[in-house]
Amino acid sequence: MELYVYCQSGHNFGLENLRRTAVICKKLDVFEPLLATADYRAASFAKAELGVKKTVGIDVIENLPNMMLRMDMLIFDSKEPNETMLTYMKAYCSHLYEVGVDIPYDIVDDNFFEESKKTIKKTFFFADDDYENELLDFAQDSSKQDMSLLMGHYFFMGNDDKLAFAFNEVIEDEEYEETIKQSEYLLTSSINACIESLASGNKPVYFQRVIKDNKGPLELLEKYNIPTASGENLDALVEDFEKIIASYPKTLKVEKFDMSAILSDIQATMKKYARMIQ
């Protein structure tokens, strides 16, 4: 009996789901979970950068039965399954947990709750993905902004040089965690990054991308009272952002999610299974 964790991911989807499920894998590390991702690059990233020990890329969630056995356990962070597939998954797995239902979307790594010096005043993090080069178009003819740019993991090679004119500095995606923790103000289209920023004691501001609809948990913006900025180009967006941070609203504190109940359920089932096969 094994524990599997699956997340939707990809160069045109982003890594918000991956970052959440990596946290789950680390919290349930005692069971040696296997993290399956929709693309192979995300699987490699989770192992190299997010501390996940066992990963594999499988393209789509429908490929899980090719590696799982009946009565294995699954935690998934994806909107791919329809009702028919969910019914089958519940019958196939001894335990099935869905992120957003059984585990909250606002789960973040414990590292973000650690105290850190605020060495960066303002950071712009567009997202991990930008397959359409939306940011290049959005920043066209922009003036130089008084803020740092944190690159996304899936950004095309060379885009850092193309965007450097619009920001004080460009920070590589490998420095994601430290940058989120150390940035007093964060402007981002990533809801997950907003929650990580809040957990770090910082002040995030969300914005909605023009080309790509955010399929993330928008209800978290209201829950935590995270403000939203808007603008037809980078100059206008940053101008609105500056107005918001001048009188930043009071936000709700992010709490650590207690995984003990899920851990106990999995542990009890594994012990029961072990007795059955003796």
How many domains does the chain divide into?
Answer: 2
Tell me the mean pLDDT in the region 50-71.
Answer: 96
The domain that contains 17 carries what CATH number? 3.40.50
**146 inside domain:** yes
Please tell me the total number of residues recorded for the chain in this structure. Answer: 278
Q: Rounded CA gap, 143 and 187, in Å?
A: 17
The band of 12, judged by pLDDT with boundaries at 50, 70 and 90, is confident
Q: Are 262 and 31 a contacting pair, CB within 8 Å?
A: no
- pLDDT digit string (tens) for 158-214? 999 999 999 999 999 999 999 999 999 999 999 999 999 999 999 999 999 987 766
**242 inside domain:** yes
Asked if residue 121 and residue 27 are part of one domain, the reply reads no
What is the distance between the terminal CA atoms of the chain, rounded to a whole angstrom?
A: 13
**261 inside domain:** yes
Asked if residue 242 and residue 119 are part of one domain, the reply reads yes
Asked if residue 53 and residue 7 are part of one domain, the reply reads yes
- The position carrying tokens 């609105």 is 240
**186 inside domain:** yes
**155 inside domain:** yes
Percentage of the chain with pLDDT > 70? 99
Asked if residue 194 and residue 176 are part of one domain, the reply reads yes
Asked if residue 203 and residue 156 are part of one domain, the reply reads yes
Tell me the mean pLDDT in the region 269-277.
Answer: 87
Tell me the mean pLDDT in the region 110-132.
Answer: 96
Asked if residue 160 and residue 228 are part of one domain, the reply reads yes
Asked if residue 114 and residue 60 are part of one domain, the reply reads no
Exposed / middle / buried, residue 161 (Cβ in 10 Å: 0-12, 13-18, 19+): exposed
Q: How many CA atoms lie within 13 A of 180 on its CB side?
A: 29
Provide the strand spans (E) within 49-98. Answer: 55-57, 73-77, 95-98
What pTM value is reported for the model? 0.95
Asked if pLDDT for residue 46 goes beyond 80, the answer is yes
Asked if residue 116 and residue 98 are part of one domain, the reply reads no
**269 inside domain:** yes
Tell me the mean pLDDT in the region 104-110.
Answer: 98
Asked if pLDDT for residue 215 goes beyond 70, the answer is no
Residues paired with residue 143 on neighbouring β-strands, in sequence order: none
**90 inside domain:** yes
pLDDT at 80: 93
Asked if residue 262 and residue 226 are part of one domain, the reply reads no
**251 inside domain:** no
Nearest to 254 by CA among 97, 107, 90, 130: 107
- pLDDT digit string (tens) for 239-266? 999 999 999 999 999 999 999 999 999 9
Asked if residue 178 and residue 97 are part of one domain, the reply reads no
Asked if residue 158 and residue 95 are part of one domain, the reply reads no
The whole domain housing 272 covers: 3-104+257-276
Asked if residue 152 and residue 77 are part of one domain, the reply reads no
